[in-house]
Structure 1
Amino acid sequence: MYRVSTFIRNFAIALAIGSLVATIWVNLSPESYYDVMEARLFTLSAPNWIMPDHARITLISVTSQLLMALFFFLLGKELWEATMLERGALHGTRGGLPFLASIGAAVGAVAVWILVSALIETAMEARLGIGWQVPIGGDTIIAYVIGRQVFGRGHPALPLLLLICIGLDLMGLLALALQVPETPTRLLWLLLPVLASIGVWFFAARHAQGRTERERQEALHLWPYMLAGAISWIGVAAAGLPGALGLLPVIPAIPHARRAFGMFAEAEELLHDPLNRLAHLTIRPLMLILFLFGLTRGGIDLGAFAPTTIVTLAALWFGKPLGLLAGVLIATRVLRMPLPTGVDAPDLMRIGLLTGIGFTVPLVALQTALPGGAMAEAARLGLALSLVMIPVVLVLFRTR
């Protein structure tokens, strides 16, 4: 078992501190909390074909749409390497079981969300199935930190847990991208990420395999990839899609290591390829970013309990684990895919329960997938209550 970098634990601490501060603040003085979070930081003057008139630049929007793009760039990088590189955990046939498990968990969460929403009147403004994107994502950071306590250091179930959680997180964001913007012509802006990726590959990345040392050295400069990432983010955001997705399109175009060392492997800190260097440049800023994300999105109104809270918990606690187990059964019984060595059925049950912890990505989804006000706050409370799964799993299943 490879060593996982310690920054994962630091990320969880930063997120928890930000959320705790926000929760205390919003319950003691909600007026001042929302005044600060929703205050307009500055005004951007741009034509309507670039940015809608009602766009507001606040601490919330800057954190969720711009800064969190670095976090999902890190997750996307790990998933890309696991899929494409030699010895990657998802390379070739090895990716079948985690992929089906992630698909099953997502489908189970959405199905239970829609079913329970139909049985319970969630809000007057709610339509059937509205908000189905919320329970798809989870919380890779918290799930791994708790999973390490549950399984023990070095257990082979930990890489599988990371793969499934990262897959669910990215699927949760991509589900938001399925919503067509109010002005469909804005989707033409998606040409920018495509052109940025092709351009940076042609002018920089392809020289990584050049014949001369000069060409190979030119491909190691980071500024072309940073510029391509900025152009890609502008295109995604201007298209009306979540800005947090903005850096993902350029990942395949960035030169990377020849083989994978594992999810968030500590050994990657010694690599000098542009993709790993860019990823590790984000580590220190991400601690502040995740604190800000907890501060801006993690404030829980303890009095917001409503039917949507029950819907959220049902999708996370029942839909996801059951869907994950269904996906694994299809992989192992129907398609005859083997379980990873050292992973058994009880381990899969633990993984399923850990995916039922929903916080980071669902909080991003709330703003777009649900109407604001009481319904969103009730769902936010449900996401916070899903953390109750942490002590339950630790007490019942912790490895002794």
Structure 2
Amino acid sequence: MSGATQNRGVLRTLIDNSFLLIAGAVGALVWANIDQHSYEQLIHFDLLSLFGGGHEVAHEATGEGAEHAASHGLTLHFIVNDILMALFFAIAAKEVWESLLPGGALSNPRKAATPLLATVGGIAGPALVYIAGAYMTGTQVDLGKGWAIPCATDIAFSYLIARFIFGASHPAIAFLLLLAIADDAAGLMILAVFYPQAPIAPQWLLLTLGAMLGALVLRRMKVHTHWAYLIGPGIACWYSFFQANIHPALGLVPIIPLLPHAHTDLGIFAREELNRGDTLSEFEHFWKLPVEVVLGLFGLANAGVVMSSLGTGTWIVLAGLLIGKPVGITALTWFAEKVLKLEKPAGMDYRHVVTLGMVAGIGFTVALFVSVAAFTVPGAIQDSVKMGALLSFGAAPLSFLIAKVLGVRPQKMVDVDVPAEAQPA
């Protein structure tokens, strides 16, 4: 009995640390390199064709029409990327929103100022390296619009690696979490503004406003269950984004702040959050495990690229993540401290900042998503940047190497004042 309980504990730990995503991505890579045709047939098979409509393989369309074909077929790729991933971005939006509440990681501008500036460096550095790489290789026309791919930081994997390197209570963990939350917020805005699926149809945003008003009405009526908000305003908001040509995976984001929620934040990954029963927390508690399954499907539906896809896009994405990210984060942290006279958390020096910058170079999930949003037509270019997003997990061993060279060791306890609002459980 105890063995079964322990096995369930290990399994849940693996699931909670996004190992389903890794399994899906590895499975897709292996499948695509063994039999790419059958992989593509499954991922792009239009389920509507079973009922006499649709198209069998959506990605066979070419040119401008391919983007619209990919938007309308009820394929596994569309179901995962455009519908189910809305739940993933909704949970990300919850973390961003709660971080702005009293006690949240971003609620105190003075404490958050240095990590926020480091976030700017962690976005600008990779983007500049990517753009410079595209110009130097003469591929700016083909690859230029992928500049945001290396700007992403995978918060789950980065947090996991950082705990191994620094120890659970080191102030670098709090610094990373503040940076990653701000990075999530910036990523949501970048996706909405810079990667519409077609020219924006602004009239459909009136439906977005209507959905938000509907959520406010439910809140005024003291409706508690998150299902009412999800099935009513949530679906309407998703549909408005889809019709407006804003990426529908962001479709639940506008209603998240409108769900009844606690007035304080206990911190991302805090175990005490499990005891909260407000509607927003109920939403996260219910969907956390299903979203991990969604991430596994996301890996399966997007990571199936053949190894021959390695190309210029791969290397400039990796350069952005593995060079631009740590350089940008370190440079803006230095600027914040030396020029603006702001402070780093006590107990952190630039050995920790450089190491943390490399940890943040793990783009993986969001970088893979942006790869598909930036290059909507399947083919060699999309596959090459996808490969860069997948290989960004190489930042993990590099982080351990840098930590060893710089003498950074994990600490179980440190005698410093770690911001409680940012400290994980």
The interval holding the TM-score normalised by the smaller chain is 0.7 to 0.9
AA in 2 matched with 1:101: A
Alignment of 1:39-50 (within 5 A): 39-42=45-48
Question: 286, 289, 311: which is aligned to 1:284?
Answer: 289
Q: Quick check: 1:199 aligned with 2:205?
A: no
Question: What amino acid is the match of 1:177?
Answer: A
- Aligned partners of 1:157 and 1:347 also within 8 Å: yes
User: 1:222 aligns to what?
Assistant: 226
Kept in 2, the 8 Å contact 1:205–1:254? The answer is: yes
Match of 2:142 among 126, 129, 138: 126
Q: Deviations over 1:30-69 (max 9, x none)?
A: 11111111111227999xxxx9666222111111111111
The within-5 A match list for 1:372-387 is 372-387=378-393
The equivalent position to 1:271 in structure 2, one of 269, 276, 287, is 276
- Whichever structure has more helix as a proportion of its residues is 2
Give the Cα–Cα distance (whole angstroms) in 1 for the partners of residues 229 and 269 of structure 2.
21
**Counterpart of 1:135?**
150
Q: Are the structure 2 counterparts of residues 65 and 180 from structure 1 closer, same or farther at C-alpha, using a change threshold of 3 Å? A: closer
Residue 262 of structure 2, aligned match among 250, 257, 260 = 257
What residue number does 2:320 align with? 315
Moved more, 339-348 or 239-248: 339-348
Give the direction of change, closer, same or farther, for the CA distance of 1:36–1:231 in structure 2 (3 Å limit).
Answer: same
Q: Is the 8 A contact 1:159 1:263 kept in 2?
A: no
SS at match of 1:269: helix
Which is further off, 152-161 or 241-250?
152-161
- Mapping of 1:139-158 within 5 angstroms? 139-158=154-173
Instruction: Using the TM superposition, give the Cα deviation of residue 219 of structure 1 relative to its aligned residue in structure 2, in angstroms.
Output: 3.6
**RMSD of the alignment, in Å?**
2.4
In 1, the alpha carbon distance for the partners of 2:21 and 2:261 equals: 29
Q: Structure 1 regions of 5+ residues with no counterpart?
A: 1-5, 208-217
What are the superposed Cα offsets for residues 102-149 of structure 1, whole Å, 9 maximum, x if unpaired?
Answer: 1221111111111110001338x616x221121121211111111111
Cα shift readout 1:275-329 (whole Å, capped 9, x = no counterpart): 1111111112112101101111122421211111111111111112111122222
Look up the equivalent residue of 1:176 and give its one-letter code. Answer: L
| Residue 36 of structure 2 corresponds to residue 30 of structure 1 | yes
5+ long unaligned stretches in structure 2? 1-11, 55-66, 411-425
Give 1:317-396 correspondences, 5 Å limit: 317-370=322-375, 372-396=378-402
In 1: Cα distance, 2:134 partner to 2:167 partner: 37
Moved more, 12-21 or 301-310: 301-310
Which residue number corresponds to residue 132 of structure 2? Answer: 115
Post-superposition shift, 1:185? 5.6
1:90, CA displacement in angstroms? 0.8
CA deviation map 1:163-212 (0-9, x unaligned): 322332342342232247576461221222222223321x23245xxxxx
Q: 1:100 to 1:194 in 2, by over 3 A?
A: farther
Q: Which moved more, 1:162-171 or 1:315-324?
A: 162-171
| Contact 1:136/1:169 (<8 A) preserved | no
For 1:334, give the aligned amino acid: V
Question: Aligned in 2, Cα 1:380/1:10: closer, same or farther, shift over 3 Å?
Answer: same
Give the aligned residue type for 1:191. L
Task: Give the secondary-structure state (helix, strand or coil) at the position aligned to 1:282.
Answer: helix
* Cross-structure match for 2:421: none
Match of 1:3 in 2: none
1:360 to partner: Cα distance: 0.8
Q: Is the 8 A contact 1:173 1:242 kept in 2?
A: no
Give how far 1:272 is off.
0.8
Structure 2 residue identity aligned to 1:239: A
Contact 2:195 2:374 in 1 (8 A): no
Find the aligned partners of 2:117 and 2:387 in 1 and give their Cα distance: 29
Give the letter for the 2:95 counterpart. E
Residues in 1 aligned to 2:24 and 2:105: alpha-carbon distance in whole angstroms: 32
Matched positions, count? 377
